[in-house]
Structure 1
Amino acid sequence: MMQRLDYLKETPSQTAGPYVHIGLAPGAAGFDIYEHELGWDIAGPNAAGERIRVEGRVIDGTGNPVKDVLLEAWQANAHGKYTHPEGGGEVEDGFRGWGRVITDFDTGEWGFDTIKPGTVVGRNGAMQAPHINLWIVARGINIGLNTRLYFSDEADANAADPVINLIEWESRRKTLIAQRSERNGQIVYRFDIHIQGEDETVFFDI
């Protein structure tokens, strides 16, 4: 005999919660748990290429910074090679191509140091512009948000990128472009991520 279950209510969705930093980035949250924190060193000291800093904020629909965000970054090296077996070739010793950071609890700012990635071979041999893949998770976000960061000084490569060209509106494409500047002799790319609102960042369903 089949039992009726239509009277049962849906279980509430689980979000990252306020303790996401302790579980995923305890060192950044002030907890000395691991001898080697995962994801802090993206490029390593032996990586070739231009050393850069990437920084920004995650902005909610009201225009305020979200201060309990965790971001993961994946990238190729300066020659467009990833570290996984299908990444296209060997990478420098110590190059991880992956990192994890959290936002500052007071300002909402996040940032990391790395090297600028190179052009990557995509599907069917199509060349993808230099980019960094980002995954964002925070309290109130049921499913992690995936986006990409492209570089403002790679206009020609960006114009030919097959992923950017999937986005119909030019104004929406601009939400994926990090702006280059220089501060105290260091190259800095600014990339603010808008979760909602008029300037909402393009997110990908992957």
Structure 2
Amino acid sequence: MPVPARRLPSWAWVSGLTVGAIAAVVVLTVQAEQGPRPAATATATRPSPSASASAAPTPSKPAPAAVPDGSGTGRRIVYSLGERRVWLVDASDSPRRTFTVWPGTVDPDPGTYTVGTRTDATTGSDGVEIEHVVYFAAKSGVNIAFSAAVDGSSPPPAAAGTQTGGIRMKSADGSALWTFGTAGTKVTVVK
């Protein structure tokens, strides 16, 4: 004798669909956070009184920061202490990427260094989980390295008297520097 099929109650279907939709939104959100982010510019253009109604304003895009003079030639990472900015420069002296950073409390002296040790992930001296750690200098017993917080946050303010050598950056920038800054890559520090 055949057994009649049991039907799922409608609340079970609605709950299942809701959970699936929420999971899809979470996955898309995570993917969006890992992708490139557009930079907002605060430029506003006003049409002149003689402008036609069909003329659309052309927003001006700020030029990327130029690689500092005196930073050497060839493939290198350039770090400007004053601008708090890093450039990844290819062998033809063209900047491939530039971004701002959050320096630690101990700055490397201006000069030329090379990437030495690299660590995929560890805990920073401030207790924050960091990744893509690229060491290139030491000063006053403090190792100086580029890194990114795993959670993407900026570093907390250092406690008074604490010496930190981590130069933190956003996660996407950390990934780019990790790929570019292999062992032996030249690092030029400028004022």
TM over 0.5: no
More helix as a share of residues: 2
TM-score w.r.t. the length of structure 1 is 0.25
**Structure number with higher relative contact order (C-alpha < 8 Å, ≥ 6 residues apart):** 1
What TM-score does the superposition give when structure 2 sets the normalisation length? 0.27
